[in-house]
Structure formats: structure tokens, C-alpha cells
Amino acid sequence: MLQIPRPIYEQMVTHAREGLPLEICGILGGKGEAVVEIRKMTNTDSSSQHFMMEPREQFAVVKDFRSRGLEILAVYHSHPATPARPSEEDIRLARTPNISYVIISLADSLLPDVRSFKIADGRVSPEELKIFV
């Protein structure tokens, strides 16, 4: 299970909406299952169908988190026009072990669909996502 405080959840959805028509991406940091921090990242692809995080930003986040006893708990990205399920590309590039992959679908612009998955060795497992106050 991945637990996200509502303010961070809303920042994530707002990030996705503001990024339209492009895909956006970011990192959720925390401890255990509980997210405590969101980092919006640069999508170097600047695409409506793909994302690739800027690696220098990734290194900076990893080192900052480590220095404060936090870990990367999840990577999030948006699907501007398709459902919140991992694409073949998402699965192929999901190489970081033991993290969650959160997808924000804006296919229904009025009702964003946010789902979390574990992806390992090409296998996708839906994961419970708890939004708490």
C-alpha cells in the first residue's frame, strides 16, 4: 500500500492538469509506506505520449532524500488521454526496484483517475492507494 497525504495528492493531480497536453512526471519521497514529499521533475521528452526524467535532477533528489533519511517511494507520471494503467513502455522502463509507479489519468478531465502499481520483471501488480488527511 502507498499512503499519500491529501495535499500532496492534490499537488500531483494539479501538476498533471497544468502540464497538459504534455505528460508530466515526479517523485514521491517518504519512509515506509507514507509519502511526505513531492518533487516535480522535468520531462526531458516534452511529449504528450512519453516521459523521461532529467537524470541530473534525479541524482539531486536521491542525494537530498538520503541526507534526510527519506527514500524514493514512488515515481508518478500522467497519461493525458489514456487510462491509468501501465503501458508497454512504462513496464519496459520500470527498472527501479521496490518502488511504486503511480499513474494519473486525465482521460476524463473532470474526474482524474489515480492508481498505483508495483512493477517487477515485467509483471504489474495493482497496489492499494490510500489518500489521508
The Cα 104–Cα 24 span in angstroms is 9
Dihedral Cα 43, 73, 6, 83, nearest 10 deg: 60
Among 51, 73, 112, 114, binds other proteins (CB under 8 A): 51
Question: Rounded to the nearest whole angstrom, what is the least distance from the CB of residue 65 to other proteins in the complex?
Answer: 10
Q: Per rule CB under 8 A, is residue 12 in the interface with other proteins?
A: no
Distance CA 95, CA 122 (A): 9
Among 24, 30, 90, 100, binds other proteins (CB under 8 A): 90
Q: Is the Cβ of residue 4 or residue 99 nearer to other proteins in the bound state?
A: 99
Residue 1: CB atoms within 10 A of its CB come to: 11
- Footprint on residues 100-129 left by other proteins (CB under 8 A): 101
Which residue in 52, 70, 124, 129 binds other proteins (CB under 8 A)?
Answer: 52
Binder of other proteins out of 6, 31, 66, 130 (CB under 8 A)? 66
Residue 118 vs residues 6, 74, 95, 102, 115: alpha-carbon distances, Å: 21, 9, 11, 9, 11
CB of 3 to other proteins, least distance (A): 21
Give the C-alpha separation, 23 to 91, whole Å: 16
Half-sphere exposure of 83 (CA within 13 A, CB side): 4
Residues that bind other proteins (CB under 8 A): 23, 25, 27, 41, 45, 47, 49-53, 55-56, 58-59, 62-63, 66, 75, 77, 79-82, 86-87, 89-90, 92-96, 101
